[in-house]
Structure 1
Amino acid sequence: MLEFAEAQHADRKTLFIEVILPLAIAKNYTYRVPYEMNEAIEIGKRVVVQFGKSKLYTAIILSIGEKAPEKYEAKYVLEVLDDKPLVTHAQLQLWQWISEYYMCHIGEVMHAALPSVLKLASETRIVLNKGFEYDRTQLHDKEFLIAEALDLQPELTVSDIAKLLGQKTVMPVLKMMFEKNIIHISEEVNDKYKPRKRTFISLNPLYRDQDNLREVFTILERAPKQADALLAYIKLSRQQKSVSKNDIIEASGAGAAAIKALLDKEVFVAEEVNVSRLLYEAEEETGLFNLSDTQQTVLDDVRRQLEDKDTVLLYGVTSSGKTQLYVRLIEEMIATGRQVLYLLPEIALTTHIIERLRAYFVASIGVYHSRFNDNERAEVWQKVLNNEYKVVLGARSSVFLPFADLGLIIVDEEHETSYKQFDPAPRYNARDVAIFLANLYKGKVLLGSATPSFESYFNARIHKYGLAEMIERFGGVELPVTEVVSITAETKQKTMQSHFTGVLMKDIEEALANKEQVILFQNRRGYAPLLMCRICAHTPKCINCDVSLTYHKSSGKLHCHYCGYKEDSPVICPACGSTHLEYKGFGTEKIEDELRMILPNARVARMDMDTTRSRNALQNMLNDLEEKKIDILVGTQMVAKGLDFSGVTVIGIINADSLLRFPDYRANERSYQMLAQVSGRAGRRGKRGKVVIQTYDTNHRVIKQVIENDYHDLYFTEMEERKSFHYPPYYRIVNLDIKHKDPEVLYNQSVYLANELRKQFGERVIGPHPPLVSRIRNYYIQAIMLKFEKDGLSINKAKTVIRDIITQFQTTKLSKGSIIQPDVDPY
């Protein structure tokens, strides 16, 4: 029988495949393909393989050959999961480039790129989708067994399911159950994205006859509020196509109870429908708009430059109408049959962009970001792969999607630090990855910003990128009036109210009196950054990190913002026993709390990491702001990104000094960007806005540049310093963070590594030195910085040498217990 089997396969090739595993390993592994799977093997498909003694992983085929590995015996592939490649050739090229450029493992890139549902492993946890109803009698035996087991035990690992079914390869069964929406991955079980619903009111057809309508008004003589609501509806229905419940309440002054009564009497008919999260003029909702002369000139300029340059920087002041230019370019690209990627720094904060583009492109637009659960992300992945979406809007991770023919990438607010992945690896910058990605498809890139990063503006000035400028706001709306107020002077004059100057309070009160809205910016969350003993100056610190704990009034606890550690706020000093404990400083929570006391009738809300953790919290807050249910919004830097509301006329920056006094060579650039972007939220429609900047240093150069809207002066001043002190864009930076649980061992390791690097790179090596936060999650940290001139040493060769030195170091006994994290272009 064996001889027969061998004879049957004698004419078949023995194939070996190199695969990418979603692990941080230095080399890819090679596996042997069983003869019966030869026809199914293709680059980009997923396979199930065993790695180590017993663990199973989903891997991606990188290459196919007939050469067996020399150093080890290849294990067999257990299963091929896909009928067609899930990952494209262009994606594999992108992964390899990211791995090389950002000095990480390709498995780490794969782990970041693929939705969890597409990379099942032995320890992946599976749960039932309790919100989905299905007929269990229609399940196959194995699916039924898994569903029954999950009834008894809420979570099972893939290994548990393999034992349950008595077989190694359970991935295909789980894949089918995912596609049927029966199961979820436990770490991704969130409520599905809930569209915003709004109740629209229409008149019962019976009462559209004038005589019947008169009878209704006669009946409503004793219910004046209901009559007012009905009159308001009639008036509104003549002015607009649809009338919402909120429209009637606002126009009539009648409450929800009056409308409910009219619904009960069947005078009104209600319909709950999904609507755009932000409202725009009707002509915008239909996708019809005309560009201004300025916009048309700039658009023509962008088109012309895109013919010669692969990347163009669009530098336009806040509210200059850049989005409408993007729409025109997207329309033109779709007309050619190619795809468009629209990158946004914070997808949840730019819902209005999503809805505005959906108005133009309807079903051909997809959205991809971390707020979607894993099944939704996998669905978007498949639709992009099948070229069903012509436009994709997404945060930085959307650069990993499997585009079929990508013609244009728009990077909106290209200066934003949100495009940089800081932890874990790959520590990539989506803006820079986008430029490489477009090159793979022979596509184009448009970078847009009111405050461009110095790197992008430098590249535009040396003609590496094209440059188009929009220097006036759309519709002739003026930039806001900016007033700088001295906290020191007002404190002496005793005109401060808590943390608010008299000038800011006067402007807030005037805005509220005019039924306008206010945004207050404080770039620190929590109630108080510091709890200090007045007697001995003891400050509670995190047990895991080298930082003081921040007091949060909502929880009554002290929080660490690095590792999440919490402890009860003490009432007695643990060091000296004193009861004289004081809260120092202030965060958004304290600002919100004090505003409620000073302005009890104002509706105050807070937007920061603490109030927007749940999936729909942020969307609900934006809805309330748009519907003018919020008078004052207090927030961190989240309020600077993408908010566009007609009612906001006053912006208050509570303490500008917290931005300006940061020990970082980018501090002035970032401060200007943040202040300019926050200021740009004011007066975006019609009425000119006002910005009040509270500061101790009214003469600070950056504040003057913000007032004068003088980006160019900032740029030229800062660039002189950057050139002198060897910083980007004249130099490239690679940071190495070395971590260890023992500070003495860490110091010896970091000194050894720095000395080895100096042998190759000399004075280009700076450090080691402890960073600002020198211990996180019980790991002490030492940092080494390497600066490489752009015109001298090849950065690729330098990275190769750095890798070799790190590898050599890791082979020594000294390296035991250390973690080394390279970060290329760290800022």
Structure 2
Amino acid sequence: MCSTSAAPQVTTSASIVRVVLDVPLDREFDYLNPGLVIKVGNRVVVPFAGRQLVGIVMALVNETDIPLPKLKAVLQVFDDVPLDAASFKLLRFCADYYHYPFGQTVLSSLPLRLRQIKPAVSRKMWLYHLAQAVPDALIGKRQQVLARLLALLQQHAECSEAMLAAVSATWRKALQPLLDGGYVSRREVIATRPSMPASAQVPELNDEQAAAVEAILGRLHGFQPWLLFGITGSGKTEVYIRLLEKVLADPQSQVLIMVPEINLTPQLESRFRSRLSEYALVTLHSHLSESERLQNWQAAQSGAARIVIGTRLSVFTPMPHLKLMILDEEHDSSYKQQDGMRYHARDVALVRAKQHGVPVVLGSATPSLESWYNATGDQEHAGGRKPIYRLLTLNKRAVAQATLPRIFCIDTAHPPPEAGLTPLLKQAIEQRLQRGEQSLLFINRRGYAPVLHCSACQWLADCRRCSAKAVLHLRQRVLRCHHCGDEQPIPLQCPSCGNPDLRPVGQATQRIEETLQQVFPQARVARVDRDTIQAKDALTTLLSEVHAGEIDILVGTQMLAKGHDFANLTLVGVLDTDSALYSPDYRASERLFAQLMQVAGRAGRGEKPGEVLIQTAFPQHPLFTALREQNYAEFAQALLQERMAMQFPPATYIAVMKAEATEYALVNQFLTEFSLAARAYVDQHAATLPDQPLIYDPVRPGLARLNRMERGYVMMQSAHRNALQQLLQVAVAWVRAHPLQAKIRWVLDVDALEY
């Protein structure tokens, strides 16, 4: 085993297998083929540094830069369906753009079972179809089962075993004569879960929805990004379904639908299964078992799955017949990977759609400023940038009687809240209970209280491993860090002064749930946060209870802020948002506005009018003024003007070199030398760069210590993407050769959202 290099090539008649591995080395490795049948894209097992690793075959060659006696042999090859050229092309782009080792990029895109040294076996099933016309003489008068099976086969291009079994339990015996006679053929595919019967309810499209569907269908053949900007409840999902009905009418077609979070998958999956039951549908997300994930991934790769719904990693799923891509809630920061390769699934989806020559639909009620800029262009300057995306707007709610909720701000200074709830909010909840309607209280903080405080010496409970406060989880009797996961028992007295009177300060979901149960003892209260939905089907069960009217008041975090449709929910209360107004992050106002618009959109989605009450100490803040008017376009345009003036994205492109170590002195030394080297490169190549990137001095993030590691970063910024990429290519090579890299952890975050 060895890496390729620039040494003179040795030509040999022996077959050489060039492999990438899941190691932090950006290179390919050569191995001898001992006579195995190997194809490009196959999984193989090879020896590496005293252990055995799974690799992916990139090439079969007869030349190597390494003397043959030093080459080791491939140990095993698996006969899985190999990765295709389109997958390699997309993964190569990601490795180059995000400056991540290609081997790790390839292997991390695969299900865990394909990264293990064992065969990846999936359950198979048969699909049946008519091969030729069946003579009437073969269908006797008493062969009613066979007649119904034949009618089903004539109705559908292909029928699954589940569809045939629904006709009769004896379908196999009845169909065998037609198989033997060659009138019916079958093909083996990866098994997929049968869909539910089609729903009888098909809503009529309003004029805006119909225009959006018609526009996209008119440009199906070729790459075209669409921004579907629709207010909450405007029926974007129905637009998606109508697009799928047309696209999937072609038997050689697949559609990828992406959602930002797992909790949006069950509801979306249910709607698509009920309306498009004839098409095999699979999901890909981290709540699946490894066996289920492999099964669904291989169903997509084989083409057996016609619809794939998944979270960000699904953007890499091989789909040989991909014809359309849809990203729901495209603005959501969950599409950005925050460990390993720091890719943004939305941006990767756009690249994949362009490589495949297919349209991509980005849907949101509050688009990201990057997408808004790409869809509207630079409206402030004559001759400025023209729109890249096509903009489609849905301004009306899909349910004819439904209207946008009214939004009000409650000044928490007059009077102040009691246990987190103002009198006006309590009164509004009581009114809903009397009318048999549902309420939702939104507070994006789980646990019982964010701080445990000593009133005598002002001690606050800190995390032992981070520069963050430990959150009180009263029911579990622990202090827990939400950044590193560290847990410690609740002290009986203040560790600083011995005072036994320790008090929780602030509100979180557990404490609000407790307060509601005390104030409204007759109400059925449910809490929805990461602590309550750890079980696999917990969220699905809870949402079913909400739809069935078995819950009166929901308390939850951002899990409830988007994607859910509760017809009887007429009140949304927002308890604490002011902390975001103090954030130094230039994206904070964009995120807060989007979050509040999304959670406000849960109210009044049915025929009953909705109301949103926001508790804040700053009711006259411009953000709340824009929110009450529910005019995202005007708010986004104002934010864009600020970004242009300050030269922040999307006016410029940024990348962040992050480093951490047990001592900050090492981090500071590394980042200081990095920034000096980067500036020197820019100065030396100023004449050839399309723009001179700006390199800032090293700084510490807001969370300066995480899991006992001291952190820092250097931000790089340029008005031209190519100039920044040229700098990053040289910068990464400099880092990999730096002597301190063995003592620190570093990562390059291109198009970073967090510092």
Q: TM-score, normalised by structure 1?
A: 0.76
Q: Which residue is equivalent to 1:548? A: 469
Deviations 1:155-194 (A, max 9, x none): xxxxxxxxxxxxxxxx35xx56x879xxxxxxxxxxxxxx
1:467 corresponds to: 391
Distance 1:83 1:519, change over 3 A: closer
**Aligned counterpart in structure 1 of residue 676 of structure 2, from 755, 758, 771:** 755
Match of 2:494 among 563, 573, 588: 573
Matches within 5 A, 1:85-104: 85=82, 87-104=83-100
Amino acid at match of 2:254: Q
1:52 corresponding residue in structure 2: 49
2:714 partner SS: strand
Q: 1:683 aligns with which of 582, 596, 604?
A: 604
Distance 1:481 1:308, change over 3 A: same
Q: Which residue of 2 aligns with 1:798?
A: 727
Q: Cα 1:595–1:459, aligned 2, differ >3 Å: closer, same or farther?
A: same
Question: Superposed, which structure 2 residues align to 1:189-228 within 5 Å?
Answer: none
Deviations along 1:445-477, one digit per CA (max 9) or x if unpaired, are 000111000100101113211111111111332
Q: Which of 310, 313, 322 is residue 227 of structure 2 equivalent to?
A: 313
Partner of 1:256: none
Aligned partners of 2:354 and 2:321: how far apart in 1?
12
Which residue type is aligned with residue 432 of structure 2?
A: A
Distance in structure 2 (CA, Å) of the matches to 1:720 and 1:370 = 39
- 1:271 — aligned with what? none
Query: What SS does the aligned partner of 1:301 have?
Result: helix
Q: CA deviation at 1:660?
A: 2.6
Letter in 2 for 1:322: K
Letter in 1 for 2:93: W
Deviation track 1:514-559 (CA, whole Å, cap 9, x = no partner) reads: 1111111001111111112212222222221111111001211100
Q: 1-side partners of 2:455 and 2:67: how far apart?
A: 66
Tell whether the 8 Å contact from 2:94 to 2:105 is kept in structure 1 after alignment. Answer: yes
Per-residue Cα deviation, 1:415-449 (whole angstroms, up to 9, x for no partner): 011111112x1111111111111122211100011
Q: Distance in 1 between matches of 2:357 and 2:212?
A: 23
**Structure 1's 569 and 816: CA in aligned 2 closer, same or farther, altered over 3 A?**
same
Give the letter aligned to residue 253 of structure 2: R
**Residue 288 of structure 1 pairs with residue 202 of structure 2:** yes
Q: Does 1:15 align with 2:11?
A: no
What residue in structure 2 maps to residue 455 of structure 1? Answer: 370
Quick one: distance in 2 between partners of 1:502 and 1:819? 51
Q: Please tell me whether the aligned partners of residues 533 and 578 of structure 1 are also in contact (alpha carbons under 8 angstroms).
A: yes
- 2:105 corresponds to which letter in structure 1? V
User: How far apart are 1:804 and its partner, in Å?
Assistant: 2.3
**Alignment partners' CA distance in 1, 2:263 and 2:301:** 24
CA contact (8 A) 2:32 2:74 kept: yes
1:725-779 per-position Cα deviation (integer Å, ceiling 9, x unaligned): 2211111110111111112222222222222122234771123111010111111
Describe how 1:699-710 pairs up with structure 2 within 5 A: 699-710=620-631
Query: Contact conserved, 2:419 with 2:507, CA < 8 A, in 1?
Result: no
Letter in 2 for 1:558: L
Provide Cα deviations, 1:695-727, integer angstroms capped at 9, x if missing partner.
000011111111101112211221122112221
Q: How does 1:69-148 map to 2 (within 5 A)?
A: 69-70=65-66, 73-82=70-79, 84-85=81-82, 87-121=83-117
Matched letter for residue 28 of structure 1:
E
Relative to its length, the structure with more helix (as a share) is: 1
Secondary structure at the residue paired with 1:455? helix
- Which of 36, 39, 42 aligns to 1:42? It is 39
Please give the alpha-carbon distance, in whole angstroms, between the structure 1 residues aligned to 2:461 and 2:422: 31
Tell me the distance in 2 between the aligned counterparts of 1:651 and 1:555. Answer: 28
Q: Name the SS for the 2:466 alignment partner.
A: coil
Call closer, same or farther: CA 1:662–1:71 in 2, change over 3 Å. Answer: farther
Q: CA deviation at 1:800?
A: 1.0
Deviation at 1:567, TM superposition (A): 0.6
Q: What residue in structure 2 maps to residue 29 of structure 1?
A: 29
Q: Is the 8 A contact 1:669 1:714 kept in 2?
A: no
Return closer, same or farther for 1:322/1:291 CA change in 2, 3 Å cut-off: same
8 Å contact kept, 2:227–2:363: yes
Is 2:248 aligned against 1:334?
yes
Q: Does 1:513 align with 2:443?
A: no
Distance 2:274 2:267 in 1: 11
Distance change >3 Å, CA 18–CA 616, structure 1 → 2: same
Cα distance change on mapping 1:340 and 1:179 into 2, 3 Å: closer
Please list, as runs of the form range in 1=range in 2, the aligned pairs for 1:64-463 lying within 5 A after superposition.
64-70=60-66, 73-82=70-79, 84-85=81-82, 87-121=83-117, 171-172=118-119, 175=120, 285-286=199-200, 288-304=202-218, 310-336=224-250, 337-362=252-277, 363-423=279-339, 425-462=340-377, 463=387
SS of aligned partner of 1:768 = coil
Q: Quick one: distance in 1 between partners of 2:343 and 2:397?
A: 33
Contact 1:313 1:466 in 2 (8 A): yes
Map Cα deviations across residues 83-125 of structure 1 (whole Å, 9 max, x no partner): 542x11111111111111112112332342111111115xxxx
Matched, 1:824 2:740: no
Cα-to-partner distance string for 1:233-268 (whole Å, 9 max, x where unaligned): xxxxxxxxxxxxxxxxxxxxxxxxxxxxxxxxxxxx
What corresponds to 2:175 in structure 1? none
- Report the equivalent of 1:523: 444
SS at match of 2:399: helix
What is the rounded CA distance, in whole Å, between the counterparts of 1:296 and 1:616 in structure 2? 35
Aligned-residue offset at 1:309? 5.7
On the 8 A contact 2:410/2:619 being kept in 1, the answer is yes
Unaligned runs of 5+ in 1: 1-11, 122-170, 181-273
Q: Distance in 2 between matches of 1:770 and 1:606?
A: 36
State the shift of 1:51 in Å.
Answer: 0.9
Matched with 1:560 is 481
User: Equivalent residue of 2:584, what SS?
Assistant: coil
Aligned equivalents of 2:362, 2:453: Cα separation in 1: 46
Answering whether residue 483 of structure 2 is matched by residue 483 of structure 1, we say no
In the TM superposition, what is the alpha-carbon distance from 1:391 to its structure 2 partner?
A: 1.0
**In structure 1, the residue corresponding to 2:447 is in which secondary structure?**
coil
Tell me if structure 1 keeps the 8 A contact 2:265–2:309. no
Q: Counterparts of 2:431 and 2:347 in 1: how far apart (Å)?
A: 45
CA contact (8 A) 1:757 1:805 kept: no
User: How many Å apart are 1:350 and its aligned residue?
Assistant: 3.7
Determine if contact 1:529/1:550 at 8 Å carries over to the other structure.
yes
CA contact (8 A) 2:568 2:608 kept: no
CA contact (8 A) 2:27 2:103 kept: no
Q: Which amino acid aligns with 2:274?
A: A
Shift of 1:384: 1.2
CA separation in 2, counterparts of 1:754 and 1:530?
37
Contact 1:306/1:312 (<8 A) preserved: no
Superposed counterparts of 1:596-745, under 5 Å: 596-745=517-666
Q: Under a length normalisation based on structure 2, what TM-score does the superposition of the two structures give?
A: 0.83
Report deviation, 1:13.
Answer: 4.0
Tell me the equivalent position of 1:7. Answer: none
Contact 2:13 2:62 in 1 (8 A): yes
Per the TM alignment, residue 30 of structure 1 is displaced from its structure 2 partner at its CA by 1.4
CA RMSD of aligned residues (A): 2.2
